[in-house]
Amino acid sequence: MNSRPLLNKSILILIICIQVFWLEQSVEAQNKSYDNFKFQEQDIAKIQQGYKDGSFTIKELVQAYLKRIVEIDKNGPHLNSIIEVNPDVLKIAEALDKEMKAGKSRGPLHGIPVVLKDNIDTHDKMSTTAGSRALIGSHPLNDSYVAKKLRAAGAIIIGKANLSEWANFRGEMSSSGWSGVVGQTKNPYILTRNPCGSSSGSAVAVSANLTMIAIGTETNGSIVCPSNNNGIVGIKPTVGLVSRSGVIPISFTQDTPGPMARTVRDAAICLGAIVGVDSTDQKTIGSQGKYYTDYTQFLKIDGLKGKRIGLFKAPLGKNFKVDALVYKAVDFMKSRGAEVIEIVDITGDDVDKNSFEIMLYEYKDGLNKYFKSLGPQAPIKSIEDLIAFNKSDAIEMKYYNQKYLEQAQRKGDLSSKEYQDALAKMFKGSREDGIDRVMNKYNLDAIIAPTGNPAWLTDWTNGDNFQVDSSSPAAIAGYPNITVPMGFIDDLPVGISFFGRAWSEPVLLGIAYSYENGTNCRKAPRFLTPAE
């Protein structure tokens, strides 16, 4: 018997094993190098302490974040979460350093880097595009109200984040995190997975430590879903708590900006900086006497004690792995003194239908007003112009259509009976007969539900693949929703949502903080690529 073939086979297997070993070591070393970031997983309090004791300057911190954006977002894993970096960011940092050296601090956000979703106007050298090639080079005439508030608080807007184009309300079978301007944003936990949207880049930038905080926007799910998929905290405020002036709109009734951060405390700090009554957004009038400039006062370790919490059952039963995490979370809340009551439903199906009709009407009205606000130099003058542009562009229509834009264009104005009827029915069904009814019936402080399922594979052919979601009740009612990391399923994060009555951010923050503090489910991403 000739043993040479067996010997050759053994040598080949040994060589393959050695190659696999060194490949694994190389990948691990690469992942570790991304963790060497000096400000990895730092929170606002630690950064402020570093400024105070002279460990680093604001300019040094900003330079470090800019370097990391190049290394990870543009190179390396190529997350593609940032559309544009602010060219004046170092000058801004130097000015804020001078203020701090002179003994002046604008508050906890002084010198803190923030990224804005690129549907939020900034009056600077950066464009505001909504991810659309139609608005490349579009420079708004004014800062958005949110940008003004952040600048006044000393925050540094270091860049604009990629998003699902037009906040994911353009057409069917879209892939969240894709825009015509820069393409697809990747999930930093597993690069082939989807970041969700529409605030995709905002969530990824926070999760991957490319910024301290970010601002996203939500109409229905666009803050909480990407926060879920990227393992961070997201706050979708009560509509009217934060002004939408200077935010490219979908729905006047449901739209709101909100903070995204790695901790509940950082998100609460940011929320306090951007609230306020704005004369150019009538929805904010309702927040008078109901907003706080310091939400950290409501963060209590024992925030779960004595609370009555409703478990929304409708999103359960679709993914047993998600269900297991939810019931683990329920057990924890009970151990901290909360009472959990199961609730089957909150709103009827007609609420979703009416919400969609309202969005179409308000989309047409809001977009046309936004284009007009850009002045005579605006590249697009109307929703009709936008539809025509997309049809003529080689990239915009490559993966999905523009059905929602076309449907919106065919709608009448906001005085139409169809719109007014839908609005009345939606408010009643989502509020009086929805969240308010359920919370009154069971005397609840908050409602919980899984925010979503683990991130799905990005698919430009078939679009997104949602299994679990719970954003609609709060989004359609215009009520607050906070999502916090709940755990992991096969290296992918999943979040839990806390939502409730209008203006109940203080209560929800206390509960969410107590849960976060006791579970500590946040883990930094490792930028994994699945084995072939």
| 251-301 pLDDT tens trace | 999 999 999 999 999 999 999 999 999 999 999 999 999 999 999 999 999
Give pTM, 2 decimals: 0.94
pLDDT of residue 30: 46
Which residues lie below 8 Å from residue 376, measured CB to CB, with a gap of 6+?
none
Residue type for position 150: L
For 315, residues 6+ apart whose C-beta sits below 8 A from its C-beta are 449, 450, 468, 469, 470
Locate 438 and state its tokens: 């359920």
* For residue 532, pLDDT beyond 80: no
pLDDT at 24: 41
d(CA 50, CA 43) in angstroms, rounded, equals 11
Q: How far apart are CA 421 and CA 424, in angstroms?
A: 5
Query: Which distant-in-sequence residues (6+ apart) come within 8 Å of 438 by Cβ?
Result: 310, 343, 346, 444, 447
- Band the pLDDT of 33: cuts 50, 70, 90: low
User: Is 46 among the residues known to form the active site?
Assistant: no
Task: Find out whether 312 and 346 touch, Cβ atoms under 8 Å.
Answer: yes
Tokens in use for 369? 């007003």
Positive or negative, the CA dihedral 160, 230, 155, 247 is positive
d(CA 418, CA 440): 30
Report the C-alpha gap between 265 and 484 in whole angstroms.
11
Q: Which residue in 117, 283, 307, 425 is the catalytic one?
A: 117
User: Tokens representing 167?
Assistant: 């906040």
Q: What is the pLDDT of residue 530?
A: 86
d(CA 454, CA 489): 7
Q: Tens digits of per-residue pLDDT, 177-226?
A: 999 999 999 999 999 999 999 999 999 999 999 999 999 999 999 999 99
Given a cut of 70, whether residue 315 has pLDDT beyond it is yes
Residue 229 belongs to what H/E stretch? helix 224-229
Q: Which domains can be identified in the chain, with CATH numbers?
A: 44-353+415-519 (3.90.1300.10)
Per cent of the chain over pLDDT 70 is 93
The reported pLDDT for the residue numbered 10 is: 47
- 468-497, pLDDT tens digit by residue? 999 999 999 999 999 999 999 999 999 999
Pick the closest to residue 527 from 110, 170, 80 (CA basis). Answer: 80
Residues 485 and 496: their CA atoms lie apart, in Å, by: 6
- 454-468 pLDDT, tens per residue? 999 999 999 999 999
Statement: residue 175 has pLDDT above 70: yes
Residue among 138, 198, 202, 355 flagged as catalytic: 198
199 is catalytic: no
Q: Can you spell out the DSSP letters for 418-484?
A: HHHHHHHHHHIIIIIIIIHHHHHHHT-SEEEEE-BPSPPBP-TTT------B--HHHHHHT--EEEE
Locate tokens 């998929």: which residue? 229
- Asked if residue 445 has pLDDT above 60, the reply is yes
CA–CA separation, 153 vs 326, rounded Å?
A: 37
Which one of 81, 132, 138, 222 is the catalytic residue? 222
Could you tell me which of 380, 387, 422 has the C-alpha nearest to residue 404?
Answer: 387
Rounded Cα distance between 452 and 469, Å, is: 5
117 carries an active-site annotation: yes
